Structure 1
């Protein structure tokens, strides 16, 4: 059998993939897709409307056509369905804030080698430390959660539960959809004080002011007020070191009433830790940005839950975008 001929094409394509990334980032940052969504436009019209240099604008527009994000007809540019759906602010499914969050991570990722040498973050910038970054992060989380929450909540039966704690819930997108899907359920969001205005605005948008409340605090340092029969932790554990994750899960379990359900949603690695791709890459994202954060394997999350006294632990069949998964268990009733 003849061995395949090796060539560097795939490696060079991988190495230069950031060219497309930065082309997308520039277009979102300039709000180009929203401008075009208001009607087919020539390069001159787009440049004039956005204050761009005409020749450079045309080069960007043509590259976006080559990336299948725009379509060019008779020297006018039109959003493709993908761009119109996800990249125009006129669309309720806009994800531009998450793309800008990715853009804000670029400098840290460019120094990944430093983090690998030292094992430490090169630039630990929490979203709350910068207004633009905080907006991109919170709105990005909201956009992504809005896309997944409606279908995700259908996979979890908490119809008999009365009070849900959305721990580190940000704007409370999942709490909102759990309450919408389970009449009679009320919820409490516990997150940083700086998140309150955004969370309360989001809750009001869904007319759930009487159903969902926000309580401010640091779930690592502050006591968790109240008692709940279901606790939801979505994309929380990956931001912290194993010892802090142990504290978080212990505190979540302590806030549960006997017989209550603990549900953890995160990017979950296989137990070999070398698959799937996104959780493996996300571990590196946590390496460059946090002191100790990482993706965790199914076995590691289950061990955290077992150590907190949770029983009947199982992984559900749910598989979300970017290989997120759900592990849940019950706090036992001791007679």
Structure 2
């Protein structure tokens, strides 16, 4: 995790400006690189599988790595809270065990891999162009299309992020009594549709996305044993048939990629696929909700990411509500998703 200065360090670096506070950003960047490498070589999983703390030499033997280099890496990871050392032997911390082990249900490692292999390289190639010209030469999704394996890496990352909030999101979604048909537009990994079908035995779902984005969804559906109730459909939600008489349509993490007119049009298209009284459910990062430093940083980070990778932005709730009403929806309401951090919000509306 990022270095957490103690009171004296905060005073000297951040309040009195007695030292170069930007050094903390350098530490943070190097921590990300160290953690990603540790994930790539299986360091955390190896510590977990050993059954007892390991010395650096023992761990190096298991990883076929240099003992001295592993010792230096472990020392840095210890300082950053990913491992802990006792009597010359190392084990994972609770944070690492919960968030970064392959066996964990909340494994965020594929999300970090997504940023390391895809987003940050895209940033490096396009960031200055965006700042100088206002737009990237292409979106990151168009870049994914140039090498379809990028889509698999991306969807595994999206799936990892969704695993953290999937239960809370499912709690927030109102499934009407008697509902049997759900459409997940731009559903990718399919995790949200799967979770809702688990909770509602009479519900079946279609996960609709670009064909290249659906491989992870197929794996998740099979792993959940829901092949008879959840299916995938490849297509373009701007052009292809979305079906009809759905009871619920999910539009999750989609609207940030589009402007006002496009989102209004998207809601109209989705509305055409819903029965009267059906529910449209939107999930996205919404602007104007951050109040504390981490939240403000998160909002700024997301906004910058969307600009560089998608030529897009985060929208305020008032705009989303306006588009929904103009597209033929009433009873618009919202629920904050706290576990995802400030801004992540479920917005629901009923087709007139």
Fold-level similarity (TM above 0.5): yes
Whole-angstrom CA distance in 1 between matches of 2:37 and 2:137: 24
Change (3 A) 1:8 1:247: farther
The one of 312, 316, 328 equivalent to 2:335 is: 316
Q: 2:121 — aligned with what?
A: 107
Change (3 A) 1:243 1:49: farther
Q: TM-score, normalised by structure 1?
A: 0.89
Q: 1:155 — aligned with what?
A: 172
Aligned length: 328
Mark the runs of 5 or more structure 2 residues left unpaired by the alignment: 1-14
Q: TM-score, normalised by structure 2?
A: 0.85
1:6-25 C-alpha deviation (Å, 9 max, x unpaired): 44543432354212222222
Whole-angstrom CA distance in 1 between matches of 2:254 and 2:146: 18
Q: 1:120 — aligned with what?
A: 135
Q: 1:295 — aligned with what?
A: 314
The one of 47, 56, 68 equivalent to 1:36 is: 47
Q: 1:218 — aligned with what?
A: 236
Whole-angstrom CA distance in 1 between matches of 2:162 and 2:30: 28
Q: 2:72 — aligned with what?
A: 59
Q: Residue 231 of structure 1: CA displacement? A: 0.9
- Is residue 326 from structure 1 mapped to residue 346 from structure 2 by the alignment? yes
Q: Secondary structure at the match of 1:41?
A: coil
Contact 1:176-1:203 within 8 A present in 2 as well: yes
1:94-134 C-alpha deviation (Å, 9 max, x unpaired): 21100101112223334534312211126643345445533
1:49-93 C-alpha deviation (Å, 9 max, x unpaired): 323333222111110000111011222211111112221213232
Contact 1:267-1:322 within 8 A present in 2 as well: no
Contact 2:105-2:163 within 8 A present in 1 as well: no
Q: 2:25 — aligned with what?
A: 14
Whole-angstrom CA distance in 2 between matches of 1:276 and 1:297: 15
The one of 286, 291, 298 equivalent to 1:278 is: 298
- Is residue 146 from structure 1 mapped to residue 163 from structure 2 by the alignment? yes
Q: Residue 146 of structure 1: CA displacement? A: 2.4
Q: Residue 151 of structure 1: CA displacement? A: 2.7
Contact 2:253-2:284 within 8 A present in 1 as well: yes
Whole-angstrom CA distance in 2 between matches of 1:117 and 1:241: 21
Q: Secondary structure at the match of 2:249?
A: strand
Q: Secondary structure at the match of 1:10?
A: coil
1:83-102 aligned at under 5 Å gives the runs: 83-102=96-115
Change (3 A) 1:5 1:20: same
1:97-246 aligned at under 5 Å gives the runs: 97-104=110-117, 105-110=119-124, 112-121=127-136, 124-126=139-141, 127-130=144-147, 133-160=150-177, 161-246=179-264
Whole-angstrom CA distance in 1 between matches of 2:302 and 2:109: 19
Q: Residue 191 of structure 1: CA displacement? A: 0.9
Q: 2:6 — aligned with what?
A: none
Whole-angstrom CA distance in 1 between matches of 2:190 and 2:44: 28
Whole-angstrom CA distance in 2 between matches of 1:84 and 1:250: 44
